Amino acid sequence: MLNRLHSILEELLHKWDCKLIEFNGEDNHVHLLFQYHR
C-alpha cells in the first residue's frame, strides 16, 4: 500500500510542479515532506 501511495504522490506532486523530498509511514499513517515552488 505504501509503495502505491508513494507512486501516486510523486505523480501528483510532479503535476503541481512540486518535488517529494521524504516519504515514510506505517499501516495507519504517513509522513510527507515535499518542496513547493510559488
In angstroms, the CA 28 to CA 14 distance is 25
Tell me the pLDDT tens digit for each residue of 8-29.
999 999 999 999 999 999 989 9
Q: What is the mean pLDDT of the chain?
A: 94
Residue 28, number of CB atoms within 10 A of its CB: 5
pTM given for the model: 0.77
What residues does each domain of the chain span? 2-36
Element (H, E) at 11: helix 2-15
Percent of the chain with pLDDT over 70: 100
Residue 24, helix vs strand vs coil: strand
Written as nine digits, the cell of 9 is 504522490
pLDDT at 27: 87
Written as nine digits, the cell of 16 is 503541481
